[in-house]
Amino acid sequence: MNTPPDSSPRNPNDNARPVPPHRDTDRATLAAIAHRVMIERGLEPDFPPAALLELAALGQPATAASGDLVRDLRDQLWASIDNDDSRDLDQLTVAESLGNGRVRIRVAVADVDALVHKGSALDGHASRNTTSVYTPAVIFPMLPERLSTDLTSLNEDEDRIAVVADLVFEADGSPATSDLYRARVRNHGKLAYRSVAAWMEGTGEAPRRIAEIVGLGDNLRLQDGVAQRLVELRHRLGALSLETLQTRAVFAGDALSELEPDRKNRAKQLIEDFMIAANGLTATYLASKKFPSLRRVLRSPKRWDRIAELAAGLGDRLPDQPDAVALEAFLGRRRAAEPDTFADLSLAVVKLMGRGEYALDLPGGEPPGHFGLAVKDYTHSTAPNRRFPDLITQRLVKAALAGAPLPYSIPELTELAKHCTEREDDATKVERQVRKSAAALLLAGRIGDSFDAIITGASEKGTWVRVFQPPTEGRLERGFQGLDVGDRVRVRLVHTDVERGFIDFVRD
C-alpha cells in the first residue's frame, strides 16, 4: 500500500525488465543503474521463464469456487485511494453508519493467492524478492504487471474476489466488533491521494468520480471522520506522529528535473489508519484461531539515550527508559513550537529508533509489538500484490477461514520471517542508492556549493548528512568529529558519482 507512482516506460510484454540498450538520457541511466544494483544486492530484476509461462496461462481474474463461502458486497460504495499513477490496487474501503455514532468500516484486500499459488514459479520469484522495488526511473514489481495491475488488482468497475476486514467502531473511535471473510467487491471509484485530500480540506474541487457517484462523497466524509478519531486515539496511546520527508523523482520527458517532496496529507492518513486497523484485526484473528502469524514489529529503541539527549537539547525531558506515550507528547510539543523544522526532528528520531522487522508469533506467545504504532498485535496483510509477507498472511487467513491445515510449517515461517526482513533491507538499499544516483545527477554541477544539513547517521562506518534542497543524503568526509544524529551542520559538496550513488560533503 501507499507506494510511489510508476513513471517508468512500460515493457510491451509487461514482464521482464531488460537493461536499457542506450544510456543517453537520465531515465535510461538511472534504469540501468537500478538493474545493476538489484543484481548486486541479490535481487532478481527480471521474471524467470517459468514464471512467464505460468503468467501466459492465466486467462481471467479469479472467481469463487463452488461451495466457497463468499459474500456478495458489490453494491457497497467501495473506492480505492492511492498515488496518482498507481495501477496495482491492493485495497478498497467503505463506511456504513450504524447509529449512535457507531460506524462500520470495511477494508477489502485483493485475493492475490487465488491466482498466485504457493509453490508456483510466480510464487517462487515473489518469495525471492519479497517486495516490489521502487526506483526513480523504473519499478521492479514483485508480480508481473498483468497480475498486479490487472488480474489481481481491484480495478475500477471490475468485479473481484477479496478478503474483507469488517470493523465496527464506537463514537470515540474505540473498537466494538470485528470480523474477517471473503467477498465479491467492485471498485466504484479509483481516486488519488492529492485530489481527495484537497477536496477534503476545501482547497480543491471534488474528483470526477466523487462528483459522478451519488453518495460517494458522503461515504468518504464518514470514513474521514472515523479516521480522525482513530488517529487521535492512537496518539493518546503513544503512536508516534512523525513526519519524515519522502521524495519522488520528477521527469521532463526522459530528463530528471527535480526531486519533489511527497508529503503526508489527509487522504493518506485515512488509508494509513484503516490499514493499521485491518492489520491489527488480522493478527488477532489468527491468534484467536490458534494460528501462527508473521508479525511486523518495531522493538524499543536501542538509542533511546540519544533521543533523550535531543529532547534535552531542546529544553524538554524524556524518561530514562523508552516510553512511547512520553515521546509522542514531546513530538506534539515540538510540532507546535517549530512546525517548519519538525520533519528534521522526525528524521532524527526515525533513524535512532531503528528498523522494523518480521517475527514469527506462535499461538499463545507474547509478540513484541510495534513501538512506533503503540500496538501489540500487528501484521502486514493489506498489500499482497506488493509485499510477500502480506501474501503469506493471506494464505494463513484463508486457511483459518476454511478450517484447513496450515499452508506453511513452523520452520518455514521462521525462515520466511528472517528472509523477508533481509530482502526488505536489500530492497531499501537499492531504492536508497538509486535515489542518491538521481540526486547526484542533479547535484553534479554544484560542486563547491554549501548547504544546510542534519546528521542522519553516525557510527564507525561513517557519518551521514541530509541536505534539504534537493532533499538527499550524503557522506560527511571531513569535520564529523563529535557529531551525532540530529545535529545541524553546514556542509560543502565536494564530489558526486552517479554510477555508485556517492555524494560527498565536508563540514563548512
Q: Which domains does the chain carry? A: 26-297+370-438 (no CATH), 304-354 (no CATH), 447-507 (2.40.50.140)
Nearest to 264, CA basis, from 237, 241, 239? 241
Percent above pLDDT 90 for the chain? 77
Report pTM.
0.90
Q: What is the pLDDT of residue 248?
A: 86
CA-based end-to-end distance of the chain: 40
* pLDDT for the residue 329: 94
SS (HEC) of 308-354: HHHHHHCCCCCCCCCCHHHHHHHHHHHHHHCHHHHHHHHHHHHHHHC
Given this model, what pLDDT does residue 84 score? 85
Taking the CB of residue 495, how many other CB atoms lie within 10 A of it? 15
C-alpha cell read off for 226: 472515523
- Return the pLDDT at 67: 64
Is residue 149 within 8 A of residue 168, CB to CB? The reply is no
Which helix (H) or strand (E) element contains residue 248?
Answer: strand 246-252
Helices and strands counted in the chain (H then E) = 13, 18
Cis peptide before 319 (omega within 30 of 0): no
pLDDT at 21: 39
Q: What is the structure's pLDDT at 66?
A: 63
pLDDT digits (tens, 9 = 90+) for 432-481: 999 999 999 999 999 999 999 999 888 888 999 989 888 888 999 999 99
Based on the number of CB atoms within 10 Å of its own CB, is 331 exposed (0-12), middle (13-18) or buried (19 or more)? Answer: buried
Joined together, the cell numbers standing for residue 443 give 547535484
Distance CA 334, CA 315 (A): 10
Residue segments in the chain with a per-residue pLDDT below the cut of 50: 1-22
